[in-house]
């Protein structure tokens, strides 16, 4: 909608920058009498200096404006809406989204269909006309909403006009300023390099912004959730039974139980296989075996989790059910803890093995020599010297694998089932690996996909679950990285 005219603004600023490059360059050359050796910097730097002074403030302003304008207009328009315009079943946020859509529709319809004074028949007609241009509205348009939409539209128009003016002014101003300072003694290279350095720092800071974005977005919605739902119930309740009609029980414990149980099964599969595979490949295997087996195991790491999920759903699940669960009388579901755990274990094998491989290889050869020199066999050396020496690193690797298992989504969505663990049905069912069980990640997906209403605790609980997941995995990662780093330092 606004993308195309915005593109024009961006193109104009870019063109101005290009002109600035040429102008700055030739002005510098002129001031040096055409002799580039008399310049402080290479002529191109004078050009870049002008171009950057055009671009940076203009785009900075543009980005800021685009971020702030919608929020500011929303606040203003929201204040215009009388309380009477908000039906009992609705919220101010929902009405505001109607306002935005009406405004958007009016924009598409063009100016001719927007009289200031309105009657009911006009509003009814408007809904149909909006429907025709693809803006479907759930209910009749309220007169107050219509008026709000009109002022929304006005403000947006004025705001966008101002934005154009301000951005262009910034660009032209930057141009003029930097063009003026351009002369042969100006330290263009240093200025440009300082500018580039700032850009580089900005790029590096995106990592911090991302983390901040993750934490803030989840904290904000989690706070909303706890405003509606007692936190004691969330953390210490024992039942997960969401009900979109209200009266949900939203306790995390049953989900955590499923998450941890499945992760445990996955680690029981992945750790011995991954560790022994790493030992075999780094200490025993011939070059030929290594050349085949190592890439094969690494391929496992490159396979997307959705593939593992499908594998669990169509192959492993039915297999475990038909050959184990049914004959043993332990269950009849093909989605189960065992299914998800086994497949997740396969996914984690390369993760454990490549980390262990690194760690085993970082145990100094001198320790192995010392052990061989005493007449130890290779396995004695590995078990009694290499492993104890590598232990902290391997523990770190296992923690990282655990964090990955806890955060894994697709395998459990497709392989573990959707029913939360039931604490009141007794221990037998809780620990039966052939029972379907659900996890934190599965519930985040199911509460946030489909038609969601961001005011209900049933939806918002997903953010609380996400935050808990984030905190757990972050804790595990920090601990694991710390252990691994301490371990590395020991041998450096």
Partner 1 sequence: MNDMRRIERATDMKETKISARHVNVHYGDTHAIKDVSVEIQDKTVTAFIGPSGCGKSTFLRCINRMNDTIDIARIDGDIRIDGEDIYDPKVDPVQLRAKVGMVFQKPNPFPKSIFDNVAYGPRIHGLARTKAELDEIVEKSLRRAAIWDEVKDRLQQPGTGLSGGQQQRLCIARAVATEPEVLLMDEPCSALDPIATAQVEELIDELKQNYSVVIVTHSMQQAARVSQKTAFFHLGTLVEYGETGDIFTKPEDSRTESYITGRIG
Partner 2 sequence: MTDMTASPAEAPRRNGSLLTADDRTRRRNAAERRFRVYGMIAVGLAVLALVFLLTSIIRNGAGAFMQTYITLEVALPEDKLDKSGTRDIEELKKATTFTYSPLIKDALEAKIAEEGIEIEGLSKEGDLISKEAAAQLRNFVLANPEVIGTTREFEFLASGRIDGYYKGRVTMATAELDGNISPEQLMLADALKEAGALETRFNWAFITAPDASENRPEASGLGVAILGSFYMMLIVLVLALPIGVAASIYLEEFAPKNRFTDLIEVNISNLAAVPSIVFGILGLAIFINFAGLPQSAPIVGGLVLTLMTLPTIIIATRASLKAVPPSIREAALGVGASKMQTVFHHVLPLAAPGILTGTIIGLAQALGETAPLLLIGMVAFVREYPAAPPEGFFDPASALPVQVYNWTTRSDPAFVERASGAIIVLLVFLLIMNTLAIILRRRFERRW
DSSP 229: S
User: Among partner 2, partner 1, none, what binds residue 349 when CB lies within 5 to 8 Å by partner kind?
Assistant: partner 2
**Shortest Å distance, C-beta 441 to partner 2:** 5
Instruction: Answer yes or no whether residue 7 interacts with partner 2 by CB under 8 A.
Output: yes
Site for partner 2 in 248-277 (CB under 8 A): 272-277
Please answer whether residues 105 and 133 qualify as being in contact, where contact means their C-beta atoms are separated by less than 8 angstroms.
Answer: yes
Residues 164-193 vs partner 2: string with x where CB under 8 A? -------------------------x---x
Binding residue count for partner 1, defined by CB under 8 A: 19
- Judged by beta carbon distances under 5 to 8 A according to partner kind, the member of partner 2, partner 1, none in contact with residue 354 is none
Window of 46-54, 109-117, 150-158, 373-381 that interacts with partner 2 by CB under 8 A: 373-381
Question: Which member of 21, 65, 234, 311 binds partner 2 (CB under 8 A)?
Answer: 311
Residue 189's alpha-carbon distances to 40, 173, 196, 359, in angstroms, are: 8, 21, 10, 45
Contact (Cβ atoms closer than 8 angstroms) between residue 425 and residue 437: no
424 binds partner 1, rule: CB under 8 A: no
Is 64 a residue that touches partner 2 (CB under 8 A)? no
Among 413, 416, 421, 461, binds partner 2 (CB under 8 A): 413
Closest distance between partner 2 and the C-beta of residue 71, in Å? 9
Instruction: Report CA-CA distances (Å) from 488 to 162, 354, 394, 396.
Output: 57, 16, 11, 11
**Partner residues linked to 250 by β-bridges:** 240
- Note whether 368 binds partner 1 by CB under 8 A: yes
DSSP readout, 337-374?
HHHHHHHHHHHHHHHHHHHHHHHHHTS-HHHHHHHHHT
Hey, CA dihedral for 97, 98, 102, 103, is it positive or negative?
Answer: negative
How far apart are the C-alpha atoms of 317 and 339, rounded to whole Å? 5
Q: Distance between alpha carbon 394 and the CA centroid of its chain, in Å?
A: 28
Please state, in angstroms and rounded to a whole number, the distance separating the CA atoms of residues 2 and 122. 27
Binder of residue 463, out of partner 2, partner 1, none (CB less than 5 to 8 A by kind): partner 2
Give the nearer residue to partner 1 in terms of CB position, either 245 or 288.
Answer: 288
Stretch that binds partner 1, among 77-85, 202-210, 376-384, 410-418 (CB under 8 A): 376-384
Binding partner of 373, given partner 1, partner 2, none, CB within 5-8 angstroms per partner class: partner 1
DSSP letter assigned to residue 382: I
Q: Minimum CB separation from partner 2 for residue 315, in Å? A: 4
For 167-211, the DSSP string reads HHHHHHHHHHHHHHH-STTS-HHHHHHHHHHHHHHHHHHHHHHHH
Which residue is listed with tokens 């049914």? 326
Task: Report 448-477 residues binding partner 2 (CB under 8 A).
Answer: 448-449, 454, 462-463, 466, 469-470, 473-474, 477
Rounded Cα gap, residues 417 and 313, in angstroms: 10
Footprint on residues 266-295 left by partner 1 (CB under 8 A):
287
Tell which one of 213, 272, 364, 475 touches partner 1 (CB under 8 A).
364
Within 13 Å and on the Cβ side, how many CA atoms surround 39? Answer: 25
189 interface partner picked from partner 1, partner 2, none, CB below 5 to 8 A per type = partner 2
Using CB under 8 A as the binding rule, whether residue 310 contacts partner 2 is answered as yes
Neighbouring C-beta atoms of residue 334, cutoff 10 Å: 22
Kindly state whether residue 418 participates in binding partner 1, applying the rule CB under 8 A: no
Distance CA 280, CA 284 (A): 5
Which of 23, 345 has the CB closer to partner 2? 345
Does residue 124 belong to the site contacting partner 1 (CB under 8 A)?
no
Residues found near partner 1 in the complex (CB under 8 A) = 287, 364, 366-377, 380, 384-385, 388-389
């Amino acid at each position: 909608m606004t993308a195309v005219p915005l593109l024009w603004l961006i193109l104009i600023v870019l063109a101005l920058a290009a002109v600035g490059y040429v102008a700055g360059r030739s002005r510098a050359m002129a001031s040096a009498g055409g002799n580039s050796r008399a310049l402080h910097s290479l002529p191109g730097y004078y050009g870049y200096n002008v171009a950057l002074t055009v671009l940076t403030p203009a785009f900075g302003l543009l980005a800021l404006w685009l971020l702030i304008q919608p929020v500011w207009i929303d606040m203003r328009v929201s204040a215009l809406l009388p309380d009477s315009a908000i039906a009992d079943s609705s919220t101010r946020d929902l009405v505001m989204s109607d306002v935005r859509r009406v405004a958007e529709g009016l924009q598409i319809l063009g100016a001719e269909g927007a009289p200031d004074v309105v009657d009911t028949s006009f509003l009814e007609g408007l809904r149909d006309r909006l429907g025709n241009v693809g803006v479907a509205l759930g209910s009749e348009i309220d007169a107050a909403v219509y008026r709000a939409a009109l002022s929304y539209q006005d403000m947006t128009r004025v705001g966008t006009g101002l934005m154009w003016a301000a951005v262009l002014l910034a660009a032209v101003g930057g141009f003029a300023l930097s063009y003026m300072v351009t002369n042969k003694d100006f330290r263009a290279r240093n200025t440009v390099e300082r500018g580039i350095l700032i850009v580089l720092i900005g790029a590096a800071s995106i990592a911090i912004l991302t983390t901040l974005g993750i934490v803030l977005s989840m904290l904000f919605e989690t706070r909303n959730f706890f405003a509606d739902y007692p936190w004691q119930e969330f953390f210490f309740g024992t039942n997960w039974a969401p009900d979109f009609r209200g009266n949900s029980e939203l306790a995390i414990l049953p989900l955590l139980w499923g998450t941890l149980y499945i992760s445990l099964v996955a680690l029981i599969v992945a750790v011995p296989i991954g560790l022994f595979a790493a030992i075999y490949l780094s200490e025993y295997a011939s070059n030929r075996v290594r050349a085949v087996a190592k890439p094969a195991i690494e391929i496992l790491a490159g396979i997307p989790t959705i593939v593992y999920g499908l594998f669990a759903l169509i192959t492993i699940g039915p297999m475990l059910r038909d050959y184990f669960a049914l004959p043993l009388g332990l269950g009849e579901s093909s989605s189960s803890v065992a299914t998800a755990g086994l497949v997740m274990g396969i996914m984690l094998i390369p993760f454990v093995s490549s980390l262990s491989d690194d760690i085993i290889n970082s145990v100094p050869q001198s320790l192995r020599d010392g052990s061989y020199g005493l007449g130890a066999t290779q396995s004695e050396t590995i078990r009694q010297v290499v492993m104890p020496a590598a232990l902290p690193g391997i523990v770190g690797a296992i923690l990282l694998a655990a964090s990955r298992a806890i955060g894994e989504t697709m395998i459990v969505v497709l392989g573990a089932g959707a029913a939360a663990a039931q604490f009141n049905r007794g221990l037998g069912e809780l620990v039966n690996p052939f029972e379907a069980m659900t996890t934190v990640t599965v519930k985040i997906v199911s509460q946030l996909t489909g038609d969601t209403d961001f005011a209900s605790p049933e939806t918002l609980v997903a953010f609380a679950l996400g935050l808990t997941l984030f905190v757990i995995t972050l804790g595990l990662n920090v601990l694991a990285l710390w252990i691994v780093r301490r371990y590395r330092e020991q041998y450096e």
